[in-house]
Structures are given as structure tokens and as C-alpha cells.
Copies of this chain bind each other. A is one copy, B any other.
Amino acid sequence: MRILVVNSNTTDSVTARIGTAARAAASPGTEIEAVTAPFGLPLIVSRADWLVAGPATLAALAARRGRYDAAVIACFGDPGLDAAKELLDVPVLGISEAAFHAAAMLGRRFGVVSFTAALRPMFEDCLAHHGLAPRCAGFRMGPPFSGDPGKVAEERADLLVELCRQSVEQDGAEAVILAGGPLAGLAPVLAPRVPVPLVDGTAAAVRLAEALVGLAPPAAKGRRRARALTGFAPEIASLYDG
């Protein structure tokens, strides 16, 4: 099985982290290709960022179309996810979508922890969009951040452990999501210091994508009518070829 993992921002060091985390989570026999969005922004933090990261993500998905059995959008907030689900013939999962579902299966109420509160509005919109707000015990986020997204996971590891503990002890979380593409791969490192399951969105998305490939046959979707999309790169427009 081949899974394409798209980092929706343009920071290659984050893509590297994500690729490593994805490979660590994948089953034997699953091949992971991790790619960086071909354009856009170095970090996705706001609703506007989320919007422009959508076509950038679609471009990456379209460029390799036919060469993967499932895809993962590895940006917490899931830019382009609904469009990709409509336009592609294979299962597509966002890492926040996957994290919410996995956490809900691992505990009645899950907390969401991340490195900076700037992400909270986008994360709240995303949680509401997926309909799992009733299962969320609350958010715990760190202070403003303006450093290297590829290094924040290590720099803020102790803070994140403390936020996880607050989520468990004060909010009643029975599972905790470490949210944000730049934190990919951190969960197994911090897990021994947190008393409930720690969920990494990238790992969850890879495992759940493997699961869905077996469940949703590619032929399930009907053919679409071809339509002409202008103003976007040819590979994006090709998604509208029908």
C-alpha cells in the first residue's frame, strides 16, 4: 500500500519530521511518500493561511495522482480536505480529523494540546467542522511562537508535557492529542510522561488511512461531469477533468 503524506506548508524540515513519524506508524508493507506543498506559506496558523494552503495541498495531491492508495493531509486544520475527498478516488484523511477520531476511540473525552495559542481559532473551527466537539475536554496551548517550526517540538517538549497534565487533571481528558504538523513524531517520546494515551495526528492518519483503504472500494464513487477550472496550475485543474 502506498500512502502520500502532504505537508501543507512549505517548510521542508517539517516535511522531514512528518515523513519520519508517518513511516514509524505505518504497517509493514506500507510505503510512505512525504511531500512538501509546492507553494504557499512556511507555517499555517490563521484562517486565511488555511484557505491558501488548500489549493497548495490539492496541487501536491494532483501532481502524484494515481501513484498512491490513500492520502494524508499533514497539517492540523486539514486544509483542502473536503475538496480532496470530493475530487480524488482514494481515501483522504486530515491529521486533525484522524486525531479526533482516534482519540475518541481511545477515551471518552480528549484534550487538545499544542505549542501556541495562535492556532486555537483554526483548531476550534476544525473541531466543530468534524462534529466531535461534544467529545473534547478542552484546549491547552502555549504562548506566542515565532521560531523555526522544524525545531519547536524539541524546544517546547517540557511545556507540552505540563499542558498534557493539566488537560488530564483539570479538564478530565482521557486521551490527549498533540496537535500541529510541527509536533509530528513527538507523541511516542512524551508518552511515558503522560498518564493517558497521547495521540499524534500523523501517526493516527497513517493507521486510519490503512484501515479505510480496505473498507472503501475505489469504485464506490460515480463519475463526475468534466468542468473547466481556470486560474490554477494545470494539475489542480486536472482534478476537474471528470
- Please report A residues at the B interface, Cβ cutoff 8 Å: 10, 25, 27, 38-42, 46-48, 50-52, 54-56, 58-59, 80, 82-87, 91, 93, 97-98, 101-102, 104-106, 108-109, 120-121, 124-125, 128-132, 134-135, 172, 174, 191, 195-199, 203-204, 207-208, 210-212, 214-217, 220, 222, 227-233, 236, 239-240
Contact = CB atoms under 8 A, between A and B. Distances in A.
A230 B131 contact: no
Contacts of A230: 10, 39-41
Given A55-B55, A80-B51, A215-B102, A38 B197 contact: no
A83 to B, nearest CB: 4
A98 B204 CA distance: 15
A231 B121 contact: no
Contacts of A93: 105
B25 A215 contact: yes
Nearest to A39: B231
Given A101-B105, A215-B106, A231-B39, A52 B91 contact: no
A227 B41 contact: yes
A41 B229 contact: yes
Contacts of A131: 104, 132, 134-135
Contact of A39 (B84, B216, B232): B232
Nearest to A98: B105
B48 A83 contact: yes
B86 A120 contact: no
A105 B51 CA distance: 19
A103 to B, nearest CB: 10
A105 B10 CA distance: 26
A38 B191 contact: no
B104 A239 contact: no
Nearest to A169: B117
A115 to B, nearest CB: 17
